[in-house]
Amino acid sequence: AYNEALTGFESVQIDKIREGARAYNEKVRECEDKKIKGYEKALNPFSTGMMGSLYIPKIEVNLPIYHDVNEGIIQNGVGHLPGTSLPIGGSSTHCVLSTHSGLPKAKLFTDLHKLDEGDEFILSVLGENLYYRVVMIKIVLPTQTSDLKVVDGKDYVTLTTCTPYGINTHRLLVRGERVSAPAGARVEKVEQKAKDSRMQNVLTLALICGLILLIAISILKDLYRLLRGERKQGMTKKAVHCVPAAASAAAPARKSTSVERGKKEEKLQQTPPEKVRRGENRIDRDHIAQALHRAKERQLLPR
């Protein structure tokens, strides 16, 4: 985005801005004063304080570079330490860039400690890529600033952040020395690689969020089924307990007898006449036999 915005500038304008930055760096070499006049206007093509951008391939960092290191700046980007060289490169320059690490909402320099000697990072400033190779990694106290001074003939950029996380009693220094750009390296390629890295991070985050959502839906479904089953079971138990005791007891004997008698009479009415007559004859014979037996017992008849 930074280099795309520069397309609206004429090459003469860019050259003028670069010359102003070089003049500022000369003053830094001469006096190393943190309050050099004209700092806010130097290397400020958009009048927003944005100087350029920093890209660290190994830890996938791509951040804007702004003037100063106040809290508002280093919450969202990289701050340039006043009193050090502006990030345009050149012999006898030493630019210091700083930001937070360990913030929950922003990565920034959280992974800076993962860099090793030989790793590279790139500054993109005024349409030019400046490549630096890590040559020193050091932890110092905040008051130890000798490693941030300009070294004659050297083109250095030092990245710094607080350490350890949450304690911040020391400073991690990662110094890079200017190297030649790789063959075929262009600003557009560096920016495209940074965009691809950001897109990959976004896709990874979206995938993780999608998986979390699916797991949450599955858990909610299981919970719904469980609660629904317990509710049905509770309603069944309640219905059983609500049945009156009298309903489960047998009906009165007289009522049962009446009902049974009614059923027998109904059945008898439905029985064919012939079967009824045969039944009556059988009943008469049974009565006669029983009467004879009783008479015999009473000796009313000879044996």
CATH superfamily entry for domain 2-185: Sortase (2.40.260.10)
Contact by Cβ (8 Å): 123, 63: no
CB atoms within 10 A of CB 204: 10
Taking only the tens of pLDDT, the chain with its 303 residues reads 687 888 889 999 999 999 999 999 999 998 866 678 899 999 999 999 999 999 999 999 999 999 999 999 999 999 999 999 999 999 999 999 999 999 999 999 999 999 999 999 999 999 999 999 999 999 999 999 999 999 999 999 999 999 998 899 999 999 999 999 886 665 555 555 555 655 665 666 677 878 888 898 989 888 888 887 777 676 666 665 655 554 554 445 455 556 566 665 565 555 555 554 555 555 566 677 777 777 666 655 454
Contact by Cβ (8 Å): 173, 115: no
User: How is the chain split into domains, by residue range?
Assistant: 2-185, 192-238, 256-297
Radius of gyration of the chain from its Cα atoms, rounded to whole angstroms: 50
Tokens 């017992």 identify what position? Answer: 297
261-299: burial string, b at 16+ Cβ within 10 Å, e else: eeeeeeeeeeeeeeeeeeeeeeeeeeeeeeeeeeeeeee
Tell me how far apart the alpha carbons of residues 135 and 217 are, in angstroms, rounded to a whole number. 51
Torsion angles phi and psi, residue 230, rounded to 5 = -65, -35
Tell me how far apart the alpha carbons of residues 56 and 139 are, in angstroms, rounded to a whole number. 20
